Structure 1
Amino acid sequence: MRTQVGIIGAGPAGLLLSHLLHLRGISSVVLEKRSRDYVERRVRAGVLEQGTVDALVEAGVGERMLREGLPHHGIELRYGGAGHRIPFEKLVPGRSITVYGQQEVVKDLIAARLAAGGDVRFEVEDVAVHGLEPGSDTGPYVTFGGERLDCDVIAGCDGFHGVSRPSIPEGVLSVFEREYPFAWLGILANVTPSSEELIYTRTERGFALHSMRSPTVSRFYLQVPADTSVDDWPDERIWDELKARLESVPGFTLTTGEITEKGVTPMRSFVVEPMQYGRLYLAGDAAHIVPPTGAKGLNLAVADVRVLTEALEAYFSDGSTALLDGYSEACLKRVWRAQHFSWWMTTLLHTFEEDDAYGRRLQLSYLDYVTSSEAAATTLAENYVGLPYGR
């Protein structure tokens, strides 16, 4: 087989890249080791930046998102027995976020690719990348399940644990990472959200987040020890702890109900540089991971894909390699801004060592500053809704 772009991974990055290339007349094949059912049910991020919403609409896959997604024009920071709203409509006019689950984005993209006759293959085995070395006689190609896919370019969109990044020779990449001494216990519950907007809560018991997926489904997170097992958290204990952390404001009552899903997410910051080698280009979690506090993972993947699409369009239209050569540098500017924002939100709202009284006073001081200074609140809002493209 032959195609112009071989794409490894059928998550949001790989599927959106394939669709954007299709709209520009560029062929691709998407290879995914998981089943279609698995990737369409895999619960991940749910907060879409303004730029991500715009990108999906421009690609013609935003109709259901606009109909069913939940636009939000602010978030609440809750600490010290009071809630403080960060009003996006005042601080960053015309920009907001939309709550719409990553699995829903994936469903929309798969439907669009298949409707357009796209070649998306699920449950492929033994995927391997070859021919990346500069000057290779064969050029880049991918093998899988006894087959071979020759291509001009390979896009590694297969996540942190995928095969793309390890295919780059040792010593080429610089790795920057940080692991946090806690994790998030996340749940989905069939309950009406107790708030119209997301609530980020800092307490002496630890961090908690109240989010939602629809008018009838809520999403919650609890800061827990890094070695936590889901088995340690029966439903009753989860609700008790969520109440203890969220019901810290007079008049607020948390609605409880059936929990349909539980999972523990480790907290990690990770970046590799450069995000390319030969004709292999990494996008999304294959190149960078952020702690979920800043809601940047999916949005960074979409940003990578936008840059890569523009570069590939130039390459296949007139042979220009300038944008492809500058792909990593262009992406990393936004990646590192998002890394800092996610680290900052994480350190601002989570409880660290029990005896770190100094650190806790610093947290409270900065929370007071963010919630009382329009300039500080604007910085948070601008980063949260996503910086405009080109900056």
Structure 2
Amino acid sequence: MKTGDGPLSGFRVLDFTRVLAGPYATALLADLGADVIKVEGPQGDEYRHVGPFRDGESALFQTVNRGKRSVVLDLKDPRDVAVARDLAAAADVVVENFRPGVMARLGLGAEALMAANPKLVYASISGFGQSGPNADRPAYDIILQAMTGLMHVTGHPDGPPTMVGEAMGDVAGGVFATLGIVSALLERERTGRGRLIDVALHDSLAAMMPTAAARVLICGENPQRSGNCHALSAPFGVYPAGTGYFAVAVLNDHLFSAFCNVIGQPGLAADPRFASDTLRRANEPALALAITDWAANLTAEAAVTRLAAAGVPAAELTSAEAAWTSAQSVERALHTGVTHPAIGQISVPEQPVHFAGLARGGRRAAPTLDQDGAAIRAGQEGWR
């Protein structure tokens, strides 16, 4: 949605975050209309120096810093710390993702800033939160995937644990930080006071695993890797066709009966081995054989066409390139154009929620380093 529009229009966010989780959260806030000032050190956010690059600018930085303004403040310089404190005094939200204790040592911790601005929502994002035995440990996405069990349950049963192909720990932390911030702003409307928010990437990624949580916490199980098949249901997985691969999702008896008809084996629906979802999962290898035999002489596209015609959820496996450029993504405006001062016209992601009556697009590109610094330091932006 256009800069200045959106449900968070008029809210001011002072962003001390860098790399991925924190910037992802504040990019979502900017997408929703908030005025986000990104505070960077003299060398800039580390992501400015991480590829891939286009015309010397980091593509990663563009995707997670869209819609923001940039000011360089050296937080080791008392004069710049004073500027940061002035900005925080006029902000609605401060977001930081340093290790616990760093902001307090700089004189920019929650206690100090909220004393000066009691309405401030102060969000601290860290690997393991502000408490607990791991609070001081550094965390990168691979560490989080290893420690939450996500990697343990990902991969084939007879193979090694496997990373998920995206930085889901950082993304989960960013999403839950945004939820916490918006919730605290809503609470502030009732109470007139801000709130300190403690977001751990470890906790956020664990919270994105409800299937594993149900099995561990309620059933006392220890989930294991199940490859490209659902851990609990069948046929619910990825199967090869003569050309390509396709995914199938069958979750109830009605769909299973329709599925059996499509693959030319209606008798399987009455087979006692497949009388329930639990039994179908226990006997999935037999179902997998029937599926691959049926699809062996079909393309993945043809297999999906036949399944979809019968109302069975199915899809071809597509590349990330194909997914981002698909007609569905374009129609839903999952990414929209911005104009960057160095790169020119590019397309960057947009938060996925559609708000009735608000057009998508029309946003700012990610800023160049200190692009707005002079005006912000001079107090010309109305924040000071």
TM-score bin, normalised by smaller chain: under 0.3
Rg larger in structure: 2
User: What TM-score results when the alignment is normalised by the length of structure 2?
Assistant: 0.28
Which structure is higher in strand share? 1
User: What TM-score results when the alignment is normalised by the length of structure 1?
Assistant: 0.27
